[in-house]
A = this chain, B = another copy of it.
Amino acid sequence: MAATFIGLAPFAVADMRSEPIQPVSPVKEINLALSELGKKLYFDPRLSVSGFISCNSCHNLSMGGTDNIKTSIGHKWQEGPINSPTVLNSSLSLAQFWDGRAADLKEQAGGPIANPGEMASSHTLAVDVVASIPGYVHDFKQVFGDSGTVNIDRITDAIAEFEKTLVTPNAPFDRWLLGDDRAISQYELEGYKLFKSSGCVACHNGEAVGGNSFQKMGIMEPYQTRNQVEGRAAVTGKDADRFMFKVPTLRNVELTYPYFHDGEAETLTEATDIMGRLQLGRKFTEEENAKIVAFLKTLTGEQPQFMMPILPPSVDQTPKPRPFDE
């Protein structure tokens, strides 16, 4: 059988384990020029009205694709309603945002730009800014092959293409899945067994170890929070969807603290304890908790490595940032 898979290492084919979690696939089928343009836009604070906040401000690729803050800081230091989900492996999710209100990465990318509590620009202004910058127009010409028309569709297309590259393969757990017995320790393996046997894996499964369903936060007992966010009910309008959230990916969860949609769980120990009690009706012992946490840390993959982009400069005609306007 293995012999028919020409080009794959026979090792991987022969020893791939059959588990409810699958290894993260490396990036493929990327439009590289589009992605490189998207990288610049992802790092460009001129997409915000202040000229200070970029996608990377809250989804920081030096820090697991998050801001590591309870809830995010928006325009004029507004306190955001929700914890920034990681952009890493977000292409694997069934939908975007905690409440799944965007179908895909491209639709998501347009949201924060025009959200008055986040980047506080508008699509019109963002397009005007980008279209005024000769270096960008040159890139748009190259990528889209026409006169370099800039519009929000193309801007979000490019950002989404870059985000598709932000996968984190080769986590120790993935190497174990692929057959390397020594990639994780016995202790970590016991953590994984507990993760399966106690039911965590019912929601946290697949390639992203989550991200593929909506579930209620607080099944066995209600979740107590001062956070006002309603979850999926805000999208569907159904009361039954109150506190339904997209199950977050556990990929790189060691890096994406603090946890939950309200960011109220500061540590993996705390998050594991609360999840056990509220979702599974199970109080993990200290040792069980520690083993699960040890397993979770084997989900830290290779972080995307790339050159810091150099942004094309504004020119005299470029609309100016307005950080302090009323």
Point out residues on A near B: beta carbons under 8 Å. Answer: 43-46, 50-52, 57, 60-64, 67-69, 73, 76-77, 79, 254-255, 257-258, 266-267, 269, 303, 305-311, 313-314, 316, 320-321, 323-324
Contacts and interface: CB of A to CB of B under 8 A. Distances in A.
A321 B60 CA distance: 15
B267 A316 contact: yes
A64 B308 contact: no
A243 to B, nearest CB: 24
Contacts of A50: 69, 73
A306 B303 contact: no
A274 to B, nearest CB: 15
Contacts of A63: 45, 311, 313
A320 B270 CA distance: 15
Contacts of A69: 50-52, 321, 323
Contact of A77 (B46, B51, B76, B307): B76
A313 B52 contact: no
B79 A324 contact: yes
B62 A309 contact: yes
A73 B323 contact: yes
A52 B67 contact: yes
Contacts of A323: 69, 73, 77, 79
A-B pairs with lowest CB-CB distance, top 8:
A77-B77, A267-B316, A62-B311, A303-B310, A308-B308, A76-B77, A255-B313, A52-B73
A51 B79 contact: no
A280 to B, nearest CB: 23
A309 B309 CA distance: 12
A313 to B, nearest CB: 5
A307 B309 contact: no
26 contacts: A45-B60, A50-B69, A50-B73, A51-B67, A52-B57, A62-B308, A62-B309, A62-B311, A68-B314, A69-B323, A76-B77, A77-B77, A77-B323, A79-B323, A79-B324, A255-B313, A257-B313, A257-B314, A258-B320, A266-B316, A303-B310, A305-B307, A305-B308, A305-B310, A306-B307, A306-B308
Contacts of A324: 79
Contacts of A311: 62-63
Nearest to A321: B69
Nearest to A324: B79
Given A50-B73, A73-B50, A43 B64 contact: no
A57 B51 CA distance: 11
A279 to B, nearest CB: 22
Given A267-B316, A305-B307, A321 B51 contact: no
A321 to B, nearest CB: 5
A162 to B, nearest CB: 13
Contacts of A60: 45
A305 B316 CA distance: 26
